[in-house]
């Protein structure tokens, strides 16, 4: 393991809800996203603000400079509200495909770092700093996300990685993406990584939402379409567990994003985002139809629903085109106001 990864001891006792918990009834939403490898500047993190609780109108925040490491790219951003109320963190994939050596190189010999930015106000971001979370046997670290575990008083951070045998330093043997996880309290020092989702076939893009004592995990089945016995390839499956860190979750739904005969769905789906529906009726699931329409909303009455249907009502959720794999942070009115104000003029 890298020297920067050290194990933390869990705090004793039962934690209270995090001080930085988001608003129960959001006044608006912040969408962190990138725009795609087809543009030279597309693999940078950008922000769009919905200044409405209905999630129906968005404005790109041009006053916040796009985020990316010098000379590189950043994709798949995930916004984290700090549990102690001190501000926010943003995690991202350290990856630039445009002008690079292609996807095969990125999978087998890509970056093993997380990119982490921090901010007190969602406008001014410090960073990024890099955290090497996987050993040399890993080929990549993709789409990191984090969930605060109140019972353990720490974050569980998770991402997708390929891993190769010790006797294959060039990473030329077959491998497949699995979800790994590690714990942290500060997004600088991490515990040892371990496998969190290993289905025997490639999976990526997990996200987790907690509700009524259950952790619901949404993950993309990354198998190729037409793979034998893989009718749900390139769509999302849902599982749940009472224990966030458990390796085995019970199945809830598969093939999410397909739609139905009456309401056709997507050609393929990734980058799931799960939120309470803005109208207060059930849940909203945003799915990225990459190489297609971008994010498209689906909804269900319950997180344990076996079926998610396209959300046809634009007054419930209307998303701007062109947004790629990202995350949505519910905001308070004060946070909306802070993002709404013009950026200070340069001297």
- Name 180's bridge partners: 159, 195
For residues 283 and 298, the answer to whether their CB atoms sit within 8 Å is: no
φ, ψ of residue 102 in degrees (nearest 5)? 95, 175
116 Cβ contact list (under 8 Å, min separation 6):
89, 90, 91, 92, 127, 128, 129, 130, 131, 187, 188
Delimit the domains of the chain by residue range.
Answer: 28-340
Q: What's the confidence (pLDDT) of residue 4?
A: 38
Q: Which residues of the chain have pLDDT under 50?
A: 1-19, 347
First-to-last alpha carbon distance for the chain, in angstroms, is 46
Which residue, 160, 167, 115, is CA-closest to 136? 167
The token duo for 316 is 């419930």
Q: DSSP of 234-276, one letter per residue?
A: TSEEEEEESSTT-S--EEEEEEET-B-SSSB--S--EEEEEEE
Q: What's the confidence (pLDDT) of residue 312?
A: 76
Q: What's the confidence (pLDDT) of residue 343?
A: 63
Q: What is the pLDDT of residues 176-230, one digit of tens each?
A: 999 999 999 999 999 999 999 999 999 999 999 999 999 999 999 999 988 888 9
CATH of domain 28-340: 2.120.10.10
Q: What's the confidence (pLDDT) of residue 21?
A: 65
Entry pTM:
0.92
86 Cβ contact list (under 8 Å, min separation 6):
20, 120
- Name 237's bridge partners: 219
């Amino acid at each position: 393991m890298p020297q920067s990864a050290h194990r933390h001891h869990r705090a004793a006792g039962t934690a209270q809800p995090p001080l930085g918990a988001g608003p129960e009834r959001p006044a608006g939403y912040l969408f962190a996203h990138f725009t795609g490898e087809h543009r030279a500047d597309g693999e940078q993190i950008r922000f769009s603000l919905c200044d409405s609780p209905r999630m129906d109108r968005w404005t790109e925040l041009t006053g916040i400079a796009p985020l990316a490491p010098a000379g590189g790219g950043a994709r798949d951003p995930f916004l984290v509200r700090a549990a102690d109320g001190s501000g926010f963190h943003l995690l991202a994939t350290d990856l630039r495909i445009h002008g690079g050596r292609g996807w095969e190189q990125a999978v087998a010999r890509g970056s093993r770092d997380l990119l982490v930015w921090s901010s007190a106000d969602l406008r001014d971001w410090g960073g990024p700093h890099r955290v090497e979370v996987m050993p040399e046997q890993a080929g990549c670290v993709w789409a990191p996300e984090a969930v605060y575990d109140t019972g353990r008083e720490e974050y569980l951070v998770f991402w997708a990685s390929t891993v190769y045998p010790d006797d294959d330093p060039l990473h030329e043997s077959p491998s497949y993406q699995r979800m790994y996880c590690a714990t942290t309290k500060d997004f600088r020092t991490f515990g040892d990584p371990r496998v969190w989702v290993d289905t025997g076939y490639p999976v990526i893009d997990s996200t987790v939402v907690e509700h009524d004592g259950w952790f619901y995990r949404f993950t993309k089945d990354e198998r190729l379409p037409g793979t034998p016995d893989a009718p749900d390839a390139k769509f999302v499956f849902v599982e749940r567990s009472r224990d966030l860190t458990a390796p085995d979750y019970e199945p809830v739904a598969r093939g999410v994003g397909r739609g139905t005969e009456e309401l056709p769905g997507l050609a393929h789906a990734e980058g799931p985002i799960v939120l309470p529906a803005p109208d207060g009726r059930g849940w909203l699931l945003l799915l990225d139809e990459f190489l297609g329409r971008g994010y498209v909303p689906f909804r269900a009455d319950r997180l344990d629903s076996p079926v998610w249907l396209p959300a046809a009502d634009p007054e419930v959720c209307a998303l701007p085109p062109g947004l790629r794999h990202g995350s949505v942070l519910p905001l308070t009115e004060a946070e909306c106001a802070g993002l709404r104000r013009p950026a200070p003029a340069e001297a």
